[in-house]
Chain A
Amino acid sequence: MASFKETMVKFARAVFVRAQKVLLPACLFCAYFLGIGPMAAVSRLARLLRRRAPENAVTFWKPAAGYEADEAESLEQS
């Protein structure tokens, strides 16, 4: 017969798994509408105010950065 402690661990794990199934989508839902949504509004407003002007550039190449990965730099994920 399972001990009281084992039963409680199983119970806690079951609660955690259930909560995670509900909490994660709920958090993502909130993040999408309360975080991404306002950012989208600001981004669109900024785009309206600052239209991409036609350029007379000779080239669309940009200088590359971050391609000299050494030991320390390559341990970074960004």
Chain B
Amino acid sequence: MNILGISCYYHDSAACLVKDGRVVAAAQEERFSRRKNDPDLPLSALNYCLQAGDITMDALDRVVFYEKPFLKFSRVLLGHVQAWPRSFGSFMSSMPLWLGERLTLPLTLKEKTGYSGRTHFIKHHLSHAAAAFLPSPFEEAAILTADGVGEWATTTRGRGAGSGITIDGEISFPDSLGLLYTAVTVFLGFEANEGEGKVMGLASCGQPSFMKEFSRLAEVKDDGSYRLDPGMFDFYGGRMYSPAFTRLFGEPRKPGGELTDRHRDIAASLQKFTEDVLLRLARDLHARTGSRNLCLAGGVALNCVTNHKILEETPFRAIFVQPAAGDAGGALGAACYGYNCLSGRPRGFVMDNALLGPEYTERQIELALAREGLKAEKLPDELLFKRTAALLAAGKVTGWFQGRMEFGPRALGARSLLGDPRNPKMKDILNSRVKHREPFRPYASAVTAERAQEYFDLRAPSPFMLLAPRTRAGAADRIPASCHDDGTARVQTVTKTADPKLHGLLEAFGAAAGVPVLINTSFNRRGEPVVCSPSDALRVYLETEMDALVLGPFLLEKAGPA
């Protein structure tokens, strides 16, 4: 049985194929189109999924879409009503797409792919809940989803058991923790749906001195349910925050403007407010369900600092956040729901790695190298690990391109840029040579699962880099580039079974440098999607000041000092 899940038309569109109960492929459209957060119908990702599953559109039993378009359209129309006449521009630009494609998805699919079978639609937060629970390792679990907004819901709670999901409560638009986070993100001069992670990074540099102001933005009950003050926000008009918000917090920061302590403190207060709400929601959910396991999804679940606090400060003993917790993961949830719930088949797939994207053969890599006129050394694994570890220990910024691409926003060792965490200047080096990020943004680390506890106070494995534990005493001296200003670190734990190559490299680096830890960041330039193909990787390698690149078994080095 073949089920295709699709998420698209908002941001970060994706496709996912479930074949006989296994998730065989999932990818975001941006990786193929090279357009960051591409919202369009994911035709390239869809074609890739079919190729990976070795099937055609005719072999699909169902296509499941990750939300209910008509329900969402009703909210969008209401938004235009509320913001009239300021909504004129967005009405004129968005309506042709709604009328032409979004409300006629089965016809659009037939026209663009030839598919004429059944197309199903499930609610946005049900897709999130399904993505969080159905591929999790738990037989039963509490489920919490939170994002900007789906059709109307912004936060839901429920429980999963066996192949069933029950959602019993929701909080609806315009009350939204995700939109609150986005409003403050925009106020701080960052881009909506893109800068939230930056604000999370900025928060680690500030003090939560604006909690009193944040308490005026929303009323929060003991059970974590909340209501935003509508006078403080302008979700309909596109500006996100109102003049009353500006009176409360002062002048907004202009994009690219100077970052002051006030901005850092607002970010820290936002982060603390978000944590407080989510901790209350999680404690209440635990009391209701009695479960020891929690599945989290929605864009808010990408907040790795909060995720770890939930593990530390609530009775939940295990947490599962799949790597594409945002809207791209809706495709995964829709496909899993189609198989397990609509088709009534039992669960049997556990998502223990994110490697669901395309992979390239040695021949394809050789052709890409030949196109660029480059020569590379082909090395056996052990020697490759040793040589790469030596390069990294010598301070070289190295690209690491191996096997299937990751699904989700994090680079987890398939399309990664690696650096030496012992060098306190490594963050600046990565920023100035390749990433060109804002200087306050911290970098994440990969560590062998066996030795993670030596450096990080982790309460659970973190295979998808979605936990940010405190660092152990002394870690700041040994791996300064891995440690954030607030004493935490975003961590990926790597096991030999999940990723033998990255694990082998970490062990080799441990032998060469004394620490089995590497800075691990996404292999891309600022503003671009993570690389997908060998050609993408070579382009970044040639156009930036990276020192070395490992493409499968091939090692390339640039001449000159590090």
Contact = CB atoms under 8 A, between A and B. Distances in A.
B525 interface: no
A57 B225 CA distance: 11
Interface string A11-51: 00000000000001100110110001101100100000000
B84 A36 contact: yes
B82 A24 contact: no
Given A58-B221, A60-B225, A62-B171, A69 B95 contact: no
A69 B69 contact: no
Question: B interface, how many residues as a size bin?
Answer: 35 or more
Contact of B81 (A43, A58, A66): A43
A75 B119 CA distance: 7
A32 B93 CA distance: 12
B96 A24 contact: yes
B91 interface: yes
B168 A69 contact: no
A40 to B, nearest CB: 4
Contact of A28 (B95, B158, B230): B95
B167 A64 contact: yes
Given A59-B221, A61-B225, A69-B337, A39 B81 contact: yes
A67 interface: yes
Interface stretch (B121-129, B250-258, B470-478): B121-129
Contact of A60 (B87, B120, B171): B171
B205 interface: no
Contacts of B165: 67
Interface in B72-120: 74, 77, 80-82, 84-85, 87-88, 91-92, 95-96, 103, 105, 118-120
A6 interface: no
B126 A78 contact: no
Contacts of A43: 81-82
B82 A40 contact: yes
Contacts of A7: none
Contacts of A58: 221-223
A61 B121 contact: no
Nearest to A42: B81
Contact of B169 (A25, A37, A61): A61
A47 B221 CA distance: 25
Contacts of A52: 230
B450 to A, nearest CB: 41
Contacts of B222: 58
Contacts of A40: 81-82, 84-85
Contacts of B129: 67
Contacts of A67: 123, 125-126, 129, 156, 158, 165-167
Interface string B53-85: 000000000001000111100100100111011
Question: A interface, how many residues as a size bin?
Answer: 20 to 34
Contacts, number: 108
A28 B169 contact: no
Contact of A61 (B84, B88, B125, B171): B171
Contacts of A25: 92
B9 interface: no
B394 interface: no
Contact of A77 (B64, B103, B225): B103
B69 A77 contact: yes
A76 B184 CA distance: 36
Nearest to B230: A52
Contacts of A59: 221, 223, 225
Interface in B419-477: none
Given A43-B81, A61-B157, A74 B122 contact: yes
A59 B227 CA distance: 10
B300 to A, nearest CB: 16
Nearest to A29: B92
Contacts of A57: 221
A36 B169 CA distance: 31
Contacts of B161: none
B81 A61 contact: no
Contacts of B122: 69, 74
Contacts of B70: 77-78
B507 interface: no
B221 to A, nearest CB: 5
Contacts of B91: 28, 32, 36
Given A28-B91, A58-B222, A61-B170, 5 more contacts: A36-B91, A60-B221, A64-B156, A64-B167, A77-B105
20 contacts: A24-B96, A25-B92, A28-B96, A32-B92, A36-B77, A37-B85, A40-B82, A59-B221, A61-B169, A61-B223, A61-B225, A62-B171, A64-B168, A64-B170, A67-B126, A69-B126, A69-B337, A75-B121, A76-B68, A77-B71
